[in-house]
Each structure stands twice: as C-alpha cells, then as structure tokens.
C-alpha cells in the first residue's frame, strides 16, 4: 500500500514537472501576454507634454512625442533591465551593440541630464546626429546600430519637434561608456551585429 | 614672489620651444602648402560611409538617404555658380563641404574639421573625376540684383507662370498641384521638385541671389534646367524675388494657434496623398533597416529592397527571419488584406493567427500610429514592386536546449544577446558580388 502511494506521488511529481516544462515551452511568458499590455506599456513610458507651460512649445513637443513614440526609439535607447526595459529610465540608454564597422557602441543617454545626457549638446549637435550620423567631435556613427540614415528622412520641422520633446523628458543620470573595439562576426560567424540585453551604462 | 628655480626655467624654455615648433608645423599645413598627408584617411573616415571609398556615392549608408549622396566620379555637381553642364568652381565644392547642403544629410564640416582639411577634401574629391584634368569651370555672370518690391514680385509671378515653373513646383510653389510626376535624375533615382514655400531646406541657399543663381545655372543631373538662355535676366531676378515671397513660417516661428492650424493642414495633406505619406513613414520608421537584407558592412543587398530575409538569433526563442514586405503574391504581402497587414505591424499577430514577440519588431510602438497613418503605410507597401523571396518560418530550439538556456538565464543571470546576421536567409539568396552588382 505504502509503495503504491510512493509510486503515485512520484508519478504526480514527474508529470507535474513535464507539464510545467511543456507549458513554458509551448506558451512562453511573452506570448501569453495580451498585445494591449505591451502597447499600453510603450505609451506609458513616453511622458506626456502637459507640463510644458508655453502652448506653442507644447504643440511642437506633442508632435515630437508622436514621431518618437511611433519610431520606437525605446527599442534601443531605454535602459535594459532584468525584466525588460526599465520604465523609469526612459531613453536613458545603455544597450550595447557589437558592430562589424564601428566596434562596440552603447546607445546614448537621450535625457536632458546635465552631465551624462543631452543637456551638454546644442540643438544643432543633436540634429546633426539624426540627419548626418556625425557626433559633435566629428566621429561617424554606425548606421547599422543607429539607423540615422533612415531618420535623415524626417523633415526639418519633424526633426525640430523630436529635439524639442527630448528637451522636456525626465533627466536621468546614466553615464554611457565611449565606443570600444570589437567585431560582431568574431563573436558569431556571419553576424553583422550582436545586441546585448544588459545595461552597459553607469548610474 | 619667490625666486624661480632654474629647473623651472628650463621647463618653461622647452615648453615655449615646443609651442613654436607646433605653430611652425601648423603653418606648414596651411592651404597654400601641400594638403594633409592623411587626406585619404580623412575622406574614408568622414565621407565614405555615404559617398563610398571609391567616390561613387554608394557608401554603406547611402541606400536610405534621400537625396542620394553625390557620385564624384562623373564630375556632375548640382549646386554651382557655373554654367549648366559645367564643372563646379572650387569655391562651390568648398561651400558644400564647409556649410553643408540644407535639408540633406550633407552636414557643414566647419568647426569639426580645420580649413586645410576641408580644402584637402575638395582636392581629393575632384580627383575622382577625370573631367577636372581637362575642363575648366565656366562661371555665370551675376548681374545687379533687382531689389524686392511688390512690382518685382508681381512680374516674377507672371514669369513663373510663363516659364512653367509650376509644372514641377506647383502653381503656388508647394508642389500640391504639380502635373509633372515620376521625375528622375541622371542616376535613375526618383527626383522631387522642392517645396518652394519651405526655403530652410533649399540646398543651394534661400536668398534672392541664391535662387537667381540656381535659375541661371540649373541643377546638373536633375530635371531642373538652366534659364540662362531661355529667359530675360531681369525676369530671373523677379522670379527669385517671387520665390522668396512664397516662404511660409516654419513651426519654430509659429504661435500655438498657427501650429494647431498647421498640423491640421498637414493631416489633410497626408490624407490627400496616402502613398507619399506612407513612403515617408516607412522610410523614417526604418522599416527597411530590418526588412532589407544587408552585407557584412551593412550595405543593402541590391534588388532586395523590403524583400525581408534578415535572420535574427534570439537565444531561448530561436531564429526568426524578417518578413518580405513587397507586393509579391506568393512570398510577400500580395495576398494579405489591409487588415492583415495592420494587425501584423500594430498587434504582432500574423495572418495565420500566430503571435510575434514584442521584439525585434516594435509593433507595440507602431500601434500608436493614427488610423490614417496606418492606412498610409499599407497604401505605400502595396506600391513596392514584387520580389520573390520565400521567408523560412521561425525555428525554435528543442525542448532541452530551450530549458538549458532558460535555466542559465533565470538562475545564472546570463545575458543572451540578439545576433543579427548578414546576408539574405530567404529563397532569393545573397546576390553574388554585392555592391559590384550595382551599376551607377
């Protein structure tokens, strides 16, 4: 009798583990979340422009928010955390890309933080990056890690709106390391880019 | 003041000597002397990602740019002070390098590069074309300006009509009612007549003199002709004054009410031309960044625009390949309904009902596009010429490989990166020769 109980208990445990494994494999966590949850999460990260006192600036920033949100700048510029993007680090950067052409680069901090963010840069500097892929020191930017060539198609007015919006998001202190050598195809044969999910920045 | 120790004096002396030497070296590099020895290196670093190391205007980043980067090998330059068909003057090239071309990706290098470096680049760029060895630029004569006045603007309006400027630029200059369509430049790229009400994006400058010079020189390589022989000189000044008068306010000068009206007008204009709006959205949302396969330098593979085939390795999740967005019936979106396409890019649900991960495709963000913009994207995607490129379905790792990596991730905290591969994983394969296959 006791032996039967033992065997049944063992069978239940084994079946339970197999069942859980099968559940994990066939209904993985991200796939069982409703699309609306991701969609709402994306919009919740992008701060509203209500706080901007000047109505003209607010109208332009609203346009900038629309352009920036629908272009999914968060895909690369939000700080990656263990559970996905960190919502309180909106556009604070830190995702690392090993490219074939420009070494190892880390997505920059786009918040208006005075020491580590865009407050150090003029509007012209920011626009030059988005239009021409050139940093304020003349250094060229990888067009594969950062699709600036695509963003160069924004009209001057939309480009301006994006910059105005970036000036009004929450500043986050997050230091981004400078580029370093490193080639993607050395990490994985045939690869031209390897995108890390760990924050490479310093808080 | 304490006495200066003799050691410090020697240090000061050496410092001054070093400074003098540095100044002398700087003088030796002035434009009158030989250009910097590293000009090729400078060009390759600063210019080649768009213009290519070979100067053919097809660097790795060139494909996404509009207008396309200049091909230096033909010696055909758009913004000159020289006659139609003529080579540009050195000052014309210098102006483009130093000040950039407004409204394009060509930035002004002044402040980023030194004067000798910029002059050296002008000389370096010229040697790509043999024309500079045998021909001389012919400058156009700039006559005395006709001062802007209501009468001159009115005469300019009449001349604008009689010279049929509106065929390409529209009757009011905004291009809205232009009759000429499908314009192409000499390189076979689509050519768009600029909106004359937005002078901040005039490549050649926005003053009356700039516009007069454009009318006189034409824009080589494009459908914009020179009017030097076909119009009276005074008329050209009047047209220039008229074009200056067409300028509207840019958003950065508008007040709140003007902005509201402006953005509402823009929505109406977008509704009237959905394909154009869709083209702009697809370009700026960087759809081609993942849906056009690239070589190991990130240069788009020829003939595979929007044909998908970029392979992403998402450890734990397996391999996924970007979809073919062309209008091909068998392998592209040809048989997809509008609703199918929108559901895919806004909710990550494919036509067969299966779900996509919320990355690498950012559908949670694209869901925030207005319904009108979503329709515009569909309208544009329908116009992309079909390319046959069968995309393999996602491949998931086996149960044990999955569990092993999941375990490493959850318990060991291991970060599995997303690996993006060069080449086309679709049935069309990677065209042999890559960049060499493109004749420009």
Residue-wise pLDDT tens digits, B322-339: 999 999 999 999 999 999
pLDDT at B22: 45
CA distance A70 to chain B (A): 5
CA distance A165 to A50: 12
Rg over alpha carbons for chain B, rounded to the nearest Å, is 28
Tell me the chain B residues in contact with residue A132 when contact means C-beta distances shorter than 8 Å. Answer: 100, 105-107
Counting one residue from A and one from B, how many pairs have CB atoms under 8 Å apart?
203
Check A197 against B105: CB less than 8 A apart.
Answer: no
Check B399 against A75: CB less than 8 A apart.
Answer: no
Tell whether B284 is within 8 A of chain A (Cβ).
yes
Conformational region of residue A94, where left means phi above 0, alpha means psi within -120 to 50, and beta covers everything else: left
From the list A56, A128, A148, the residue facing B256 with the nearest CB is A56
**Which of 3.30.750.210, 1.10.760.10, 3.40.50.720, 2.40.110.10 would CATH assign to domain B150-248?**
1.10.760.10
pLDDT at A126: 98
Residue of chain B minimizing CA distance to A135: B112
Check A150 against B286: CB less than 8 A apart.
Answer: yes
CA distance B268 to chain A (A): 15
pLDDT at A18: 86
Residue-wise pLDDT tens digits, B242-262: 999 999 999 999 999 999 999
Tell whether B256 is within 8 A of chain A (Cβ).
yes
Tell me the chain B residues in contact with residue A191 when contact means C-beta distances shorter than 8 Å. Answer: 419-422
From the list B263, B284, B286, the residue facing A63 with the nearest CB is B263
Query: Distance from CA of residue B243 to its chain's centroid?
Result: 25
Q: What share of chain B is helix, strand, coil (3-state, %, to 5)?
A: 40, 5, 50
A96 three-class SS: strand
**Token pair recorded at residue B114:** 């030194």
Burial of A23 (0-12, 13-18, 19+ CB in 10 A): exposed
From the list A74, A143, A160, the residue facing B251 with the nearest CB is A160
| Selected residue with higher pLDDT from B400 and A54 | A54
Residue of chain A minimizing CA distance to B348: A35
Residue of chain B minimizing CA distance to A20: B403
Residue of chain A minimizing CA distance to B396: A25
Check B368 against A42: CB less than 8 A apart.
Answer: yes
Tell me the chain B residues in contact with residue A102 when contact means C-beta distances shorter than 8 Å. Answer: none
Residue of chain B minimizing CA distance to A63: B263
Interface test with B, best of A56, A135, A194 (most B CBs within 10 A): A56
Tell me the chain A residues in contact with residue B290 when contact means C-beta distances shorter than 8 Å. Answer: none
Interface of B with A in 108-127 (CB under 8 A): 109, 112-113
Residue-wise pLDDT tens digits, A147-189: 999 999 999 999 999 999 999 999 999 999 999 999 999 988 9
Check A150 against B284: CB less than 8 A apart.
Answer: yes
pLDDT at A203: 80
List chain B pLDDT tens, one digit each, 440 residues.
444 444 444 444 454 444 444 444 444 444 444 556 799 999 999 999 999 999 999 999 999 999 999 999 999 999 999 999 999 999 999 999 999 999 999 999 999 999 999 999 999 999 999 999 999 999 999 999 999 999 999 999 999 999 999 999 999 999 888 888 789 999 999 998 999 999 999 999 999 999 999 999 999 999 999 999 999 999 999 999 999 999 999 999 999 999 999 999 999 999 999 999 999 999 999 999 999 999 998 999 999 999 999 999 997 889 999 999 999 999 999 999 999 999 999 999 999 999 999 989 999 999 999 999 999 999 999 999 999 999 999 998 888 888 888 888 878 777 889 999 999 999 999 876 444 333 33
Rg over alpha carbons for chain A, rounded to the nearest Å, is 22
Question: What count of Cα atoms within 13 Å lies in the side-chain half-sphere of residue B170?
Answer: 13
pLDDT at B35: 54
Question: Which residue ranges make up each domain of chain B?
Answer: 39-134, 150-248, 285-326+387-440
Tell whether B53 is within 8 A of chain A (Cβ).
no
Tell me the chain A residues in contact with residue B255 when contact means C-beta distances shorter than 8 Å. Answer: 55-56
Is-same-fold flag (B39-134; B150-248)? yes
CA distance A40 to B368: 9
Residue of chain A minimizing CA distance to B256: A56
CA distance B232 to B161: 14
Check A59 against B317: CB less than 8 A apart.
Answer: no
pLDDT at B401: 86
Altogether, the residues listed in chain B come to a count of 440
Model confidence at A24: pLDDT above 90: no
Please give the C-alpha separations between residue B435 and each of B60, B67, B129, B378, in angstroms, as whole numbers.
Answer: 9, 19, 20, 30
**Cα dihedral B87, B91, B93, B95 sign:** negative
Prediction pTM value: 0.90
Tell me the chain A residues in contact with residue B197 when contact means C-beta distances shorter than 8 Å. Answer: none
pLDDT at A89: 94
From the list B198, B200, B283, the residue facing A153 with the nearest CB is B283
What is the CATH superfamily name and number for domain B39-134? Cytochrome c-like domain (1.10.760.10)
Check B296 against A100: CB less than 8 A apart.
Answer: yes
CA distance B141 to chain A (A): 32
């Amino acid at each position: 009798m006791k032996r039967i109980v033992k065997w049944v208990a063992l069978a239940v445990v084994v079946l339970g583990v197999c069942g859980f494994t099968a559940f994990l494999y066939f209904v993985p966590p991200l796939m069982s979340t409703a699309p609306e949850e991701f969609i709402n999460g994306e919009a919740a990260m992008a701060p509203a422009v209500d706080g901007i006192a000047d109505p003209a600036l607010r109208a332009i920033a609203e346009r900038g928010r629309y352009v920036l949100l629908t272009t999914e700048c968060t895909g690369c510029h939000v700080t990656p955390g263990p559970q996905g993007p960190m919502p309180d680090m909106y556009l604070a950067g830190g995702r690392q890309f090993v490219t074939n052409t420009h070494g190892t680069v880390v997505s920059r901090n786009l918040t208006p933080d005075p020491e580590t963010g865009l407050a150090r840069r003029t509007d012209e500097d920011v626009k030059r990056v988005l239009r021409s892929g050139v940093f304020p020191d003349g250094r060229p930017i990888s067009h594969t890690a950062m699709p600036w060539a695509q963003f160069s198609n924004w009209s001057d007015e939309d480009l301006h709106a994006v910059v105005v919006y970036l000036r009004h998001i929450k500043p986050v202190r997050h230091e981004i390391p400078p580029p370093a050598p490193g080639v993607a195809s050395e990490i994985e044969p045939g690869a031209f880019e390897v995108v890390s999910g760990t924050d490479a920045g310093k808080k | 003041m304490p006495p200066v120790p003799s050691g410090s004096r020697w240090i000061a002396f050496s410092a001054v000597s070093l400074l003098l030497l540095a100044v002398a070296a700087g003088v030796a590099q002035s434009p009158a002397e030989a250009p910097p020895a590293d000009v090729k290196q400078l060009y390759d670093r600063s210019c080649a990602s768009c213009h290519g190391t070979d100067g053919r205007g097809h660097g790795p980043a060139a494909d996404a740019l509009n207008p396309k980067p200049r091909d230096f090998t033909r010696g055909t330059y758009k913004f000159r002070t020289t006659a139609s068909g003529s080579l540009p003057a050195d000052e014309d090239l210098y102006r483009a390098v130093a000040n950039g071309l407004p409204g394009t990706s060509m930035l002004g290098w002044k402040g980023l590069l030194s004067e000798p470096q910029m002059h050296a680049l002008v000389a370096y760029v010229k040697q790509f074309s043999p024309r500079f060895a045998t021909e001389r630029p012919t400058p156009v004569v700039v006559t005395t300006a006709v001062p802007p006045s209501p009468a001159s603007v009115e005469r300019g309006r009449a001349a604008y009509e009689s010279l049929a400027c509106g065929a390409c630029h529209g009757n009011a200059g905004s291009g809205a009612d232009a009759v000429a369509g499908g314009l192409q430049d000499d390189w076979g790229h689509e050519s768009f007549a600029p909106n004359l009400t937005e002078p901040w994006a005039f490549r050649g400058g926005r003053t009356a003199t700039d516009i007069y010079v454009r009318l006189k020189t034409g824009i080589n390589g494009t459908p914009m002709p020179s009017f030097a022989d076909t119009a009276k000189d005074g008329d050209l000044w009047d047209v220039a004054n008229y074009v200056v008068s067409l300028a509207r306010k840019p958003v950065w000068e508008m007040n709140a009410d003007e902005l509201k009206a402006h953005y509402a007008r823009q929505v109406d204009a977008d509704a009237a031309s959905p394909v154009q709006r869709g083209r702009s959205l697809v370009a700026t949302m960087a759809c081609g960044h993942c849906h056009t396969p690239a070589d190991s330098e990130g240069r788009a593979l020829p003939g595979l625009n929007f044909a998908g085939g970029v392979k992403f390795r998402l450890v734990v999740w397996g391999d996924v390949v970007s979809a073919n967005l062309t209008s091909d019936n068998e392998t592209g979106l040809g048989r997809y309904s509008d609703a199918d396409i929108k559901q895919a890019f806004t909710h990550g649900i494919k036509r067969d009902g299966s779900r996509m991960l919320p990355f690498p495709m950012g559908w949670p963000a694209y869901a925030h596009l207005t319904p009108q913009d979503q329709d515009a994207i569909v309208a544009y995607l329908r116009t992309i010429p079909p390319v046959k490129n069968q995309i393999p379905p996602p491949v998931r790792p086996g149960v044990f490989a999955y569990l092993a990596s999941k375990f490493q991730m959850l318990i060991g905290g291991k970060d599995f990166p997303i690996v993006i591969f060069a080449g086309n994983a679709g049935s069309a394969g990677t065209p042999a020769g890559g960049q060499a296959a493109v004749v420009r």
